[in-house]
Structures are given as structure tokens and as C-alpha cells.
Amino acid sequence: MKLIRFTVLSIVVLFAVVTAVSLLFPSTVVVSRAIDINGTEDSVLSYTANLQKWKFWVEGMKDSSVIIYSPLRAQLNKTGVTIDSIQNKAAFATWVGSNGRVMQSMLQIIPSANKENRQVTLHWQFVQYLHWYPWEKFASMMNDKILGVMMEKNLSHLKDCIEKQICL
């Protein structure tokens, strides 16, 4: 009986300590990447604000599991993507996973300070809001390593697509 009580008490204390530590982690996680592209704002916006053109630069968009319903709504395997708004040269989207987890993303075009230069900076960020659950907080530590690499690869594809005009 003492062994069972000790085991249960140890598990409760361990869970409390892990939960207390996880409460020190932020409840909002932002993963952000940017790339400079030699192109016009409109040419970049045409690829970022239209899900039908994502197949040219987002890896996996040509899979048979991807269903594009409209330029603003698609199903990427088990994740639903909806472009909610396009304003001030930025596309705002909501990503909903099969587990119901919601992430917000923004693809923002920042023009060059030099008006003679046809270069723009494309800033892509994902924002995820977490619950207080310790497993969610600890799992979010990997978001930058998982999402960041994918974002860098896709932004590089978009840069090649626009600069080399291979997507036409």
C-alpha cells in the first residue's frame, strides 16, 4: 500500500513540477522567415495571395492529396488553409490542422527603400496560440526547427520562380 501511495504521489508531484516549468514558456509562438526577391510587389503578391499559384512554389502542393477549392481556400493533406484577407500587400491566412489546432500566417511584402531597385522583401510568419498543457508547450519548442526549414525552402522556391521566371 505504501508503494502505491508513493508512486501516485510521485506522479502527481512530477506532473505539477512539469506543469509549473511549462507555465514559464510563452503561450504564443511565432516562427518567421524573410527573403529578398528581385521582382515587383504585384508579381510577388500574385503568387502569395492565390492558393492556386502556391503549387509553383510550396512544396507538396502538387500532391494528389491537395484539393484547391478556390484561390482562397484549399485542403493540404489534413490541413485546411483559408486566405482570410489581402490588405496592404499582405495575405493573411488561417491554417487548421486535423487535430483542430489553428495557426495564423501572414505573407507580407515589404518594398525596397530605394524606388529604383525592383527588389522586395517577403516576410512569412506563422503564429500559434497554445493552451496551458505542458505537452503543447514543450512540443512548441520544435516549431522553429520544423516550420522554419519548410518556410525557408518554400521562400527559396518562390524567389527562383519569380527571378528566373520558371513558373509561367
pTM of the predicted structure, to 2 decimals: 0.83
| Chain segment 62-97, per-residue pLDDT in tens | 888 899 999 999 998 889 999 999 998 999 999 998
112 falls within a domain = yes
- For residues 19 and 43, which has the higher predicted lDDT (pLDDT)? 43
Contact 157, 150 (CB under 8 A): no
45 falls within a domain = yes
3-state SS track over 74-132: EEECCEEEEEEEEECCEEEEEEECCCCCEEEEEEEEEECCCCCCCEEEEEEEEEEECCC
Rounded alpha-carbon distances, angstroms, from residue 72 to 125, 134, 143:
18, 34, 25
146 falls within a domain = yes
* Residue 79, domain extent: 27-163
| Residue in 134, 121, 107 with CA at minimum distance from that of residue 15 | 134
16 falls within a domain = no
pLDDT for 142 equals 81
The two counts, helices (H) then strands (E), for the chain are 4, 7
2 falls within a domain = no
Domain count of the fold of the chain: 1
Pairing of strands 28-38, 119-129: antiparallel
pLDDT at 8 over 90: no
Contact 9, 94 (CB under 8 A): no
Q: Which amino acid is at 6?
A: F
Q: How many CB atoms lie within 10 A of CB 44?
A: 21
| Chain segment 126-155, per-residue pLDDT in tens | 998 888 888 888 877 888 888 889 999 999
Contact 77, 58 (CB under 8 A): no
